[in-house]
A and B are shown apart, each in its own frame.
Chain A
């Protein structure tokens, strides 16, 4: 269907559109016009991706400067889905417009997924694939080949050089599958095709890390121009991604490996001195000038990563005392030895970067400045030495990254040394956590560089938390509700058991048998009444294990077994994948199954339980983080002091976003239906923190139920859902075709005129309607009810 948003014609590849999609697109357009960032919360299963793509592509095509779209998503499957959507959209546009637009859309993923080399692609680990690929493609290997040495090279890579550099692949949208097929037929490497074509693409779809992880962003995304439109989809966890990308954990083992790496380097230098001293000398000469010169060759075969380097660092010359290769190696050795001594301490230490640097200098005479250059200097050295087995140097590189980070940032980081794994352990197994506390650091370059950044997800409430935590300002923050022709999901809060006693996963009452029995009861009852699949989320593995074994003792699992197959998520991803597959089979063949999983696990984040794969989701307990963790404590403190976010506020926000994620798993579209049960006393006070679309569907009468009440409500709901019902009834209410849309627009216009008239009469300015005005009050009320 084709329609206009203001003056912009949008081609939407479906015959009808949801009202919230239309609203979403309008807001997107406003953001793009205004040139700024926005945070949008769109209910899951309402076609967020396709709305995004159709609007932005339409926008791109009419703009003369053709702003590039960078679409970032979280998982491989989401990226693939987006590519497929884009492909369908472009096909539709071609049909409608009657001609093919000049357009390129490509996705990028790791070498591991895109490699075609017969032996390399069989490697299991991504870093090994990267390293092996490098040994087959690096510049110096090619030089050697040209000199007539017998070295192996990758033909898929070489063939690329025979093509025109800006036209490695015909225009159009390429899914990963398509890219692989094309690569195979043309004998060209899909990975490098995508990498090299990035500057010529209209749309790039890849993972967050390519933009956020400074180590990767530096080499993949640095050429992207300022006017790109950046979208982070499924961004509810973006702050954690930011933090993880800058945090480093060092263990004794990794330090040992790093030492081995340094010693190897040392040996290589000695070797090279005797065979090819000239190379070292020329590196030295370049370093005298500065890193940038030394790095003009920094291109796609830059294989080692550097943490967020401020520009001035690149322009400045390398400090004299680490210019020579041997000096630098000794420097690294000293630094690693120092870290080793720090690891010997038997009590917990938390330290800020400046204090660490002072101590370091007092003990080893390592100054801050050369430390900052560590990562870059190492990269340069490894390149000069023409090392191919990069994976051996991984731990060393980690140490170098650590050095650079700690010398670069004074605040926003904390060093925590935990000598023992747990409080009860007696054998030390020290871990040095260098944790980033400030999510804004990693994402700052993105906001600074790109004029429009769109952050969107199904669950982002409360919206203003994100701008606060990530330190940016928005043009628009909006949360959309879901328009439904019939009530197709039933959220319920169940704070009481059948016996009216409170149920909660709070730490003090966790092991209370009555609570456990009530939870067991809840599970059995819902297993009885739910058709096909049911998903249960627990706050943590530990809790899940505990409760399962207690249920086993109480005979609850035996009862459940009669109705459903029981499957459990484990931290092992392969086992979990197997469990999921079995679960799906059981749902398909009518046996029905219950999947027990963890709110922060893999299942809760990436797996959809649409239709019969998930008819009920039980959230057992509020998924709070483990608050005794020192890292979390430090972060809470930081948030309070820097962004004035209170501990309780953040913890509850974090718990609720995960809960909302879990709940959203069962509802993946408008013709899907499902039951959402929040079984914890503490959900009562957190009702306002649910996403708007869930809140809106949460009827007051379902907001405080006991288990048996919930059961009867669920039964009634399912009966209602089983009434035959056709999509036609949605028309005009929850889906619009062109006519409905036109009507809506006319109405809007009328409204607008009326407002203007009123305003003229009143003679006053526009009355700001504050949608959230009531929130504060509600919150207090909810707290009071608790």
Chain B
């Protein structure tokens, strides 16, 4: 029943009730039209002096009007206090923050120190304006990407389902075809009926298992295709699990060695070494056909020869006392370096 015009719902089943977040007094739609069409007016409920505007009337979402109001207040608070867990050093800090926010909300809801709380809230809003807007846009971004993700999932499920249906259909088709085949065969050929039937079934079985494999393969392919398609659809990039706080640094090209490079430190390699032993190999297609590059050979030979320069004898000597056995390669390298024979070399490879 409408408290203003006293018309009851059973007389007018289409009646809709509206509330205004100013005072949350409930009245029917026609009353709202009647009273507030001419602009702002006072609430018609006895004892309520608030001025209401028509535009702000809306239908009630929650049965309990208190919760309706609480949610409105929460919306307001949430628009100011929108920090996230990542903003805090520790979980404990974040939880304390949450509790304080909850306290603020609590005060607003239960009309405790409303003035004071509001003032503090406004101050906070002023101070942290930038942070707040940033978090807002982050949240919006996140919502968008979430939505895209959902849609993608949806699409994938739909595809999968369609596939499964098709698969079932095919199978049924196969089966009935095979059966027809057997019957035809039975009708046209002479011979042992049972063996023909068995034959036919075996063939059918084979076919169906082959089909299954094929379909599985196809499905995997499809899923992949759909996934990539969706990845670069539209303008907004939707990376899953993107860290939202800091913009990620621009991505460098992938370096498989992780920053380690094989710069030649002690020698520079010539393009061409005039050495009879090599000239044959250089021209022989049997070498180059396999992808063998003479320059690699030269580089390695030079490396073998000069790497010994990177050895610091003092370190090695102290290392030697710990009982290291020199290997062939290092011995050679050290010899080239013109230094002590038993110096140990760090094996880079």
**Segment touching A, from B61-69, B285-293, B318-326, B336-344:** B61-69
Contacts A321-B102, A323-B99; is A363 near B78 (CB within 8 Å)? no
Closest to A358 in B: B146
B92 in the interface (beta carbon within 8 A): yes
Residues of B within 8 A of A364 (CB): 71, 74
User: Is A327 in contact with B106, judged by CB distance below 8 angstroms?
Assistant: yes
A334-371 at interface with B (beta carbon < 8 Å)? 334, 337-338, 340-341, 354-355, 358, 363-365
Q: Main SS of chain A's interface residues? A: helix
User: Is A776 in contact with B205, judged by CB distance below 8 angstroms?
Assistant: yes
Q: Main SS of chain B's interface residues? A: helix
B25 in the interface (beta carbon within 8 A): no
Q: How far in angstroms is the closest Cβ of chain A from B171?
A: 9
User: Is B98 in contact with A319, judged by CB distance below 8 angstroms?
Assistant: yes
B164 in the interface (beta carbon within 8 A): yes
Residues of B within 8 A of A323 (CB): 95, 99
B136 in the interface (beta carbon within 8 A): no
Residues of A within 8 A of B204 (CB): 780
User: Is A337 in contact with B67, judged by CB distance below 8 angstroms?
Assistant: yes
- With A and B bound together, what is the CA distance between A646 and B172 in angstroms? 13
Binary contact track A759-779/B, C-beta < 8 Å → 1, others 0:
000000000000000001100
User: Is B75 in contact with A333, judged by CB distance below 8 angstroms?
Assistant: no
User: Is B179 in contact with A324, judged by CB distance below 8 angstroms?
Assistant: no
User: Is A640 in contact with B164, judged by CB distance below 8 angstroms?
Assistant: yes
User: Is A320 in contact with B102, judged by CB distance below 8 angstroms?
Assistant: yes
CB < 8 Å neighbour of A334 from B70, B101, B201: B70
Q: How far in angstroms is the closest Cβ of chain A from B163?
A: 10
User: Is B179 in contact with A340, judged by CB distance below 8 angstroms?
Assistant: no
Binary contact track B136-178/A, C-beta < 8 Å → 1, others 0:
0000000000100010000001001100100010000001000
Residues of A within 8 A of B102 (CB): 320-321, 324, 327
CB < 8 Å neighbour of B160 from A334, A641, A646, A784: A641
User: Is B91 in contact with A316, judged by CB distance below 8 angstroms?
Assistant: yes
User: Is B63 in contact with A320, judged by CB distance below 8 angstroms?
Assistant: no
Contacts A321-B101, A641-B157; is A338 near B62 (CB within 8 Å)? yes
- With A and B bound together, what is the CA distance between A781 and B179 in angstroms? 11
B195-214 at interface with A (beta carbon < 8 Å)? 197, 201-202, 204-205, 208
A120 in the interface (beta carbon within 8 A): no
CB < 8 Å neighbour of B74 from A324, A340, A341, A365: A365
Closest to A334 in B: B67
Residues of A within 8 A of B309 (CB): none
- With A and B bound together, what is the CA distance between A112 and B96 in angstroms? 44
- With A and B bound together, what is the CA distance between A621 and B208 in angstroms? 30
Closest to A640 in B: B164
- With A and B bound together, what is the CA distance between A318 and B161 in angstroms? 40
User: Is A317 in contact with B205, judged by CB distance below 8 angstroms?
Assistant: no
User: Is A365 in contact with B71, judged by CB distance below 8 angstroms?
Assistant: yes
User: Is A784 in contact with B179, judged by CB distance below 8 angstroms?
Assistant: yes
Q: Which 6 A-B pairs have the closest CB atoms?
A: A320-B98, A320-B95, A320-B99, A321-B102, A337-B67, A321-B98
Residues on A close to B: CB < 8 A? Answer: 288, 316-321, 323-324, 326-327, 330, 333-334, 337-338, 340-341, 354-355, 358, 363-365, 637, 640-641, 646, 776-777, 780-781, 783-784
Q: List 17 A-B contacts (CB under 8 A).
A: A317-B95, A320-B94, A323-B95, A327-B99, A327-B106, A334-B70, A337-B64, A341-B63, A358-B146, A365-B71, A646-B168, A777-B202, A777-B205, A780-B201, A780-B208, A784-B175, A784-B197
Having A321-B98, A321-B102, A340-B62, one finds 4 other A-B pairs with CB under 8 Å, namely A330-B109, A365-B71, A776-B205, A780-B208
